[in-house]
Amino acid sequence: MTNSAALLRERIQVTLGTRCEPAFLSKKRLEESLPSVVGEIPRGALTEIAGPPSSGRTALLHSLLAASCAVPEFCALLDANDTFDPESAAAAGVRLSQVLWVRCGGNVESAFKAADLLTQAGGFGLVAIDLGDSNEKRVYRIPLTIWFRLRHAVENTRTAVVVVARQINARSCSALKIELSRNRAVWKGWLPGCPPGCLLDGFQVTAQTVRKHQTQERQFHIEP
C-alpha cells in the first residue's frame, strides 16, 4: 500500500508538476524508516535492542517513540515488567497521549499476545515490546515461530516492531540488531571523593548495529 501510494504520488507529480502540491498532496514524504541516533530503524520489520541494565536501551526506545509520535503516529508499548516511567518518557519528547501502554505485570506471554493483536489490527507506527527486565532464560526460550509470526505480521506494513531485551533473541527474524553497552556514566562536577551536590550527566554508550550481516559501531552520549 505504501509503495503503491508513493508510486501514485510520483506519477501525479510528474504529470501535474507543482500544480498539484498545494491542492491535495502532502509535501512530506512517507518515511520508510524511523530516524534514530544509531541509524534508520526499518518499518515493516523487527528490530532488537539489547544490552545490560543502564546501557541506554530505554533511552533509545524512548527516542524512537518520540520520533514516531512526532510524525504523528500512534505507538504501542507492551511493557512486560511494568517498568515504563511516563515522566521520563514525557521529558524525552514522547507524547504520552499517542502511546498505548499495556502493562503485562511480568507476563511475557501476554506481551507477545498483545503484540500479535496490535500488529494484526494495523495502523500503529511503532509497536515496542519491552522485555528489558524479564528473565533472560525465559525470553531466550521463546520459540522461534513466535518471532517469525511477529515478523510476518508486520511485513509490508508501516509498523516498526522494536524489542528491548538483555540479549539478542530473535536471531534471523530481526532485520536490525542493536547491542548497547555503557562505556561510563558521566558525573558533572565529580571528583574523587564525590562531594554531595554533583549531578548525573548521562552515559557514554557504544552501539553495535548488525544489519544484513554488516556490523557498524558508533558511540553517542545520552543526555540527562
Partner 1 sequence: MFVCLHAPGNLPLLVECARHFSPLIEETAPDAVIFDIRGLNWVFGSPEQIAREIEQRVGIVANLAIACNPDAAFHAARGFRGVTILPLGEEAAILAPLPLFLLGGSPEFARVLDLWGIRTFGQFASLPALGVAARLGDEGVHMQQRARGEDYRQLRLLVDPLVFCEERELEDAVNLLEPLLFLFSQMLRELCERLRFHGRSTNEMHVRLKLERAADHIATLRLPVPMLDSKVLLKLLQLELNDRPPQAPVEKIRIELMPVEPRSTQHGLFLPASPEPEKLAITLARIRGLVGAENIGVAELMNTYRPDRFRLRPLKMAAPVAVPLRPKLTLRRLRPACPAQVLCADGKPARITSSQGRGQVVASAGPWHLSGDWWSDEVWDRQSWDIEVRNGGVFQVYQERLTDWFIAGHYD
Site for partner 1 in 98-117 (CB under 8 A): 98-105, 107, 110, 113-114, 117
Residue 173 binds to partner 1 (criterion: CB under 8 A): no
Q: Least CB distance from residue 131 to partner 1, whole Å? A: 12
Q: Is 46 or 69 the residue whose CB approaches partner 1 more closely?
A: 69
- 197's torsion region: left (phi>0), alpha (psi -120 to 50) or beta? left
Q: Which is nearer to partner 1, 16 or 185 (CB)?
A: 185
Q: What are phi and psi of 189, to 5 degrees?
A: 75, 15
The interface region with partner 1, picked from 15-23, 120-128, 140-148, 168-176 by CB under 8 A, is: 120-128
Is residue 25 involved in binding partner 1 (CB under 8 A)?
A: yes
Q: Tell me if the bond preceding 35 is cis, omega within 30° of 0.
A: no
Q: Which of residues 50-109 bind partner 1 (CB under 8 A)?
A: 52-60, 62-63, 66-67, 69-74, 82-93, 95-105, 107
CB neighbours (10 Å) of residue 188? 11
Which of these segments, 15-23, 134-142, 171-179, 195-203, binds partner 1 (CB under 8 A)? 195-203
> From CA 89, how far away is CA 170, in angstroms rounded?
26
Contacts of 148 (CB under 8 A, 6+ apart): 173
Rule CB under 8 A: is residue 122 a binding residue for partner 1?
yes
**Residue 16 makes contact with partner 1 by CB under 8 A:** no
Measured from the CB of residue 78, what is the shortest distance to partner 1 in angstroms? 9
By CB under 8 A, tell whether 126 contacts partner 1. Answer: no
Q: Which residues of 59-92 are buried (b: 16+ CB within 10 A; e: fewer)?
A: bbbbbbbbbbbebebbbbbbbbbeebeeeebeeb
| Residue written as grid cell 521529558 | 91
